[in-house]
A and B are shown apart, each in its own frame.
Chain A
Amino acid sequence: MGTTQSGILAGRLPLAEYEKNFSDLHPPLDKHEALVAADRCYFCHDAPCMTACPTSIDIPLFVRQIATGNPIGSAKTIFDQNILGGMCARVCPTETLCEQACVRNTAEERPVEIGRLQRYATDTAMRENKQFYARAASSGRRIAIVGAGPAGLACAHRLAVKGHEVVIYDAREKSGGLNEYGIAAYKSVDDFAQKEVDYVLSIGGIEVRHGQALGRDFSLADLAEQFDAVFLGLGLAGVNALRIEGENAEGVDDAVDFIAALRQSKTKVDIPVGRRVVVLGGGMTAIDAAVQAKLLGAEEVTICYRRGKEHMNASEFEQDLAASKGVTIRHWLQPKRIAVKDGKVAGIELEYTTLADGKLTPTGETGIIAADQIFKAIGQTFESFGLGALQMEGGRIVVDAEGRTSLARVWAGGDCVLGGEDLTVSAVAMGRDAAESINRAFAAEAPLASAVA
C-alpha cells in the first residue's frame, strides 16, 4: 500500500519495495564476470592502485590470482594486508582510491573493477570458511583494545596472529563499529558486518566484552594497570550540534542514529521517515542518510551544504548516486533557524553563503524549505572520557607514525586520532600497524619469565 501523508511515518512504501530498495548496491560479480574484469588488469609494476590503497593490498597480484583461477589465494593476498578486506571491498570509496589510480583510466577512463574483484575473492574464501592464519605460540602478553570497530578488530587480529591475548571492550551491543552501525544498509547486506566479525575473531585469543564504555565502566588507567598494552580505537561517538533556534524540536535527528537504526532493522518497514526531508551536511553521512530517506519513501529529500560542490567530502560517485535516487543537492546554504509548529519541525530557514576572501560569509539572503524531518550530518566529534593525561590536539588523540600515543604502552588508531581519515580502510591500516608496533615493543623488552620457562 504505502502512504504519502505528512509527518514522520513508517511504512511509506508497499512491502516489496523495501527489499528492492535496500538490496546490494553493487551486486557481487559471478565467476565469468570476475574473469572478464580480472583480464583487464595489466599487472603493473609498482602499481599505482597499490600505492593508493591505505592498506597497500597487492592488487595486481590478487587480480592475477583471480584471473588464473585461484580466488582463494587471491583472498589470502588481500587478507595479509587487510583482514577486513571483505567490508572494504564493499564500502571503500574506490573511485577516489585504488580505482582512481588505475592506469586504465588514462587510456580508457574505465578502471579495472578492483573493489568488486576484491569482494569476489574475499566472498569466495569466506563462503568456504577458509582460515589463513593461526595463532603463534602464546606470548603470555595481554592487550586491551577499546572499540570493536575496524581499527580495533584489525589490531586484535594481528596481535592474535603474533600469539598475544586480546580483550576488546566496546560500549555497544555488537562488534563492528561503523561497519555495523555507520554504513548505508545497501552497501552491506545480509548481515555481512557480523559475519566478518565472526570470521576475524575465529582465529581465537580475542575476547570481546560488550556494553563496556570507557570513562563509565573503566578508565584508561585501569587498563594500563591490568594489561601489557592498550590500543584505543574509539571512533567518534559524538555529533556536532547546529546551535540554532528550534534544534530541539521533534523531527530534528542525528543522521548517524538514523543510519544505525536502518542497519539494525531487518526489513526497514519499521523505520519512520518524513515526507519532506532536509539533510544538513556534505559528507558521506549526509549522502547515506539522504539516499536512505528517499529509499524509505520520503517524497522530497534535499541535502543542504554550506559550501560548494567542490568542497563536499562525499565523493563524486556518492553525489551521483544520491542524484540518481532523486535526492536534490543544494550548495551555499547554511541553516539559520528551524521553523517549529506544535513542537514539531515544519521547515528550515537557510541563509545563502559565499566565499569572501576565502572565508565563508552569509549573504543575508534567506529562504525557507518546508520539511517534517531534518537530519544533522555536520560532522562527528570525539568524546574523550576516562583518558587521563593522554595528549590531545584539535579534539583528537595525538599519535606518531606507528600509532604510539603520549603515554607509554598506549596506542591509538582510527577516526579518534589526529589525522584519522574517516575511512574504514585507513582505520584498518592504523590498527594493523599499531599491532605490529606493539609486537615490536614487546620484542624489545626482556622476555617474560613465564615465556622463558
Chain B
Amino acid sequence: MADLRNNFVGIKSPNPFWLASAPPTDKAYNVERAFKAGWGGVVWKTLGEEGPPVVNVNGPRYGAIWGADRRLLGFNNIELITDRDLYVNLREMKQVKMNWPDRALIASIMVPCVEDAWKAILPLVEETGADGIELNFGCPHGMSERGMGSAVGQVPEYIEMVVRWCKQYTRMPVITKLTPNITDIRKPARAAKAGGTDAVSLINTINSITAVDLDTFSPEPSIDGRGSHGGYCGPAVKPIALNMVAEIARDPETYGLPISGIGGITTWRDAAEFIALGAGNVQVCTAAMTYGFKIVQEMITGLSDWMDAKGHRTLDDIRGRAVPNVTDWQYLNLNYVTKAQIDQDACIKCGRCHIACEDTSHQAITQFVNGVRHFEVIEEECVGCNLCVNVCPVENCITMVPLAAGTLDKRTGKPVDPNYANWTTHPNNPMAREAAE
C-alpha cells in the first residue's frame, strides 16, 4: 500500500487532499462532515477583520458551464469571504481542530493591506491551534474592489510586504495564495518568497462571466438583471493552473518553494498531475461542491492504487517528477516525428477525424478508400498535430506513433534524424546559435 501521508511545510495530514478555502469549509458542520468523509485537511473559509460581518448578495452567487449530459465543466462565484462573525469562526475552528488533531486545519485570512490589521488578527488565529495560515491574495470579485484579495495579489510589492508582516507576527507557517489574474505568475511567487513565505498555493479563481441570459441580456449569475465578473474554477481551469504551478516549480528563483496545487482537481489523476508538476499537496473545491465530500474516497484509492501499480511508495517519489520535462518551446526536439495511426478495429466510422483534418488542418485523413467509407492516415500529409486524437470520441482509437530514427518520413521524404535538434540551432532561425544544451 502506498503511503499517502503528507507533510506540507511541517503541516501533517493523512493524505494530500485538502478542501480549499471556500463555501465547503465555511463552518464546523461542513468541515466535520468533510473529515468524516476522509479529507486530509481543510483551509477554513477566509476570515476577515473584526467588525460588522461581510454582506453577500441574496440572489444567485454561482454560475456554470456544462458539457454533454450537463456535466459541470466550469463554475464561477461572486460570493465574498465568510459572512459569519469572526469569533464564531474562531471558536468553531478551535473545537474542530481539537476533535480532529490528525487533520490539517489552515486559516485563510483577508484583511486590509495595513500592518495593524494583520497584527491584530494573527494572534487570534494562532490561539485556535490552527496548523497554518493562507493569505487570500486571490479572490477577484467584490473584496478586490475594496483593495483586498486579488488587488493585493496583483502587486508583487504588496505581497512581499504583507507576507513579511505575517512572518513577523506569527509562528504559524504562511501559505500565500496567488491570483491567476496577472500576466506572469512568477512575479508574485518571487515576491512571496522574498517576503519569506513558507509556500504558495495556486490558482485562485479567474475573472469570468459564465453566460449571458439571451432574454434579459443580463450576465450570469444575474442579480436583478445585472451581473458582475466572478471567480472561475472547476475542471475547465485545470490546464491554466497546471501551467502556473509548473512555471513556479521550474523558475530558478522559486525553485523548491513548496506549492499547494489548486485548480479544477476532480479526480485522483488530476491530483497526481499537480503533484508531478511540483505540488506538495492539492486543494479541491468545485469537485466537492458538484458531487459532495465522498469524492475524496475515489481520489485516495485512485492515487494509492496508481502508486502501487507504478511502484511509488510515498508522495515524495512522485512530487516534481514532471518538472524537468517542462521546457521552453525553443528547446523542443524538432527531429521528433510522429504520425497518427487509426486502429481500424476500434474505429466507429464517425468521420470526425477526417472532417477536422480536412476542413481545418492538413488533409491527411481519407474519407473513402476504394469507394468505401474508410478513415486512414495519409502519412505523406500528416504533420503529427494530434487534432484527430483529440476529436475522436473513442479512447485510444487514434494514437500518435513516433517514427523510429532512420525511418522515412513520407511527408518530408527524409529519414528521421536520430539527433536532438531544436530551434536555437535551426537553419531557419535568424538568431540561430550553438545549442544551449
Which residues of A are at the interface with B, using a C-beta cutoff of 8 A? 35-36, 39-40, 42-48, 103-104, 106-107
Contacts and interface: CB of A to CB of B under 8 A. Distances in A.
A443 to B, nearest CB: 33
Given A35-B70, A103-B350, 7 more contacts: A44-B350, A44-B351, A44-B352, A45-B355, A45-B367, A47-B350, A107-B348
Q: Which of A42, A45, A47 has the most CB of B within 10 A?
A: A45
B394 interface: yes
Contact of A39 (B69, B347, B394): B69
B322 to A, nearest CB: 32
A43 B351 CA distance: 9
10 contacts: A36-B69, A39-B70, A45-B350, A45-B367, A46-B367, A103-B349, A103-B350, A104-B348, A106-B348, A107-B394
A36 B355 CA distance: 25
A43 B70 CA distance: 17
A40 B367 CA distance: 23
A48 B69 contact: no
B393 interface: yes
B351 A47 contact: yes
Contact of B352 (A43, A104, A106): A43
Interface in B360-377: 367, 373
Nearest to B67: A39
B350 to A, nearest CB: 4
Contact of A42 (B69, B347, B350): B350
B351 A45 contact: yes
B68 interface: yes
B367 A42 contact: no
Interface in B329-375: 347-352, 354-355, 367, 373
Nearest to B397: A107
Contacts of B70: 35, 39
B355 A42 contact: no
Contacts of A44: 349-352
A61 to B, nearest CB: 13
Interface residues of B, number: 15
Contact of A106 (B349, B351, B354, B367): B349
Contacts of A46: 351, 355, 367, 373
A42 B347 CA distance: 13
B308 to A, nearest CB: 30
Q: Which of A35, A42, A48 has the most CB of B within 10 A?
A: A42
Q: A-B pairs with the 7 shortest C-beta distances? A: A45-B351, A45-B355, A106-B348, A39-B68, A103-B348, A44-B350, A103-B350
A46 B350 CA distance: 8
A103 B375 CA distance: 14
Contacts of A43: 352
A65 to B, nearest CB: 15
A445 B350 CA distance: 44
Contacts of B355: 45-46
Interface string B60-88: 00000000111000000000000000000
Nearest to B354: A45
Contacts of B352: 42-45
Contact of B349 (A36, A40, A48): A48
A89 to B, nearest CB: 23
Contacts of A42: 350, 352, 393
Contacts of B348: 103-104, 106-107
Contacts of B393: 42
Contacts of B394: 107
Contacts of B373: 46, 48
A42 B393 CA distance: 8
A45 B350 CA distance: 6
A213 to B, nearest CB: 46
B124 to A, nearest CB: 49
B296 to A, nearest CB: 28
A233 to B, nearest CB: 33
Contacts of A103: 348-350
Interface string B99-115: 00000000000000000
Contacts of B351: 44-47
B220 to A, nearest CB: 15
A103 B349 CA distance: 6
A48 B350 CA distance: 8
A27 B264 CA distance: 40
Contacts of A39: 68-70
A3 to B, nearest CB: 50
Contacts of B347: 106
A39 B66 CA distance: 11
B43 to A, nearest CB: 35
B58 to A, nearest CB: 29
A209 B70 CA distance: 51
Contacts of B354: 45
Nearest to A51: B373
A341 B325 CA distance: 92
Contacts of A36: 69
Contacts of A45: 350-352, 354-355, 367
A42 B353 CA distance: 12
A40 B373 CA distance: 22
A99 to B, nearest CB: 14
